[in-house]
Structure 1
């Protein structure tokens, strides 16, 4: 599902809201999650999962094409861990709404 499909589905399920308002809400939620991760905070959505940032240290890598050693800089990687309810829903095949 893409962001635009998500917006369309939410707008369809909430006919009292304009699609442009739903788009603003969804964009705001995503922006807040991204902002929290950029600050190094953890974002937990109960029943869905938790977003966090993992840090990878700088290391010596290898170019697979040439075999030459290259310096890989330190980086922050977004990480998502599913919540128990989401895992159970995926594993039982349930489509509860």
Structure 2
């Protein structure tokens, strides 16, 4: 699956503190996918360790995160939960 556009559903954003990730639903080509954006990726993007504000950072930067989610989708489209890692930042 080639890179494509992912649109994040803002109402689906969830801070999964236990697993250290922000989870959300994104759509591509009319299909819905579940994503998890690890805190270390938020740290790499923002330059700060997320301390209770990872969700706010993601909410404020959805347009920057959507192409990163698209890269992760292209890599792992067949997974139930697509994990966005630092490798997807490149």
Q: TM (normalized to structure 1)?
A: 0.21
Q: TM (normalized to structure 2)?
A: 0.22
Higher relative contact order (CA 8 A, sep 6+): 2
Bigger Cα Rg: 1
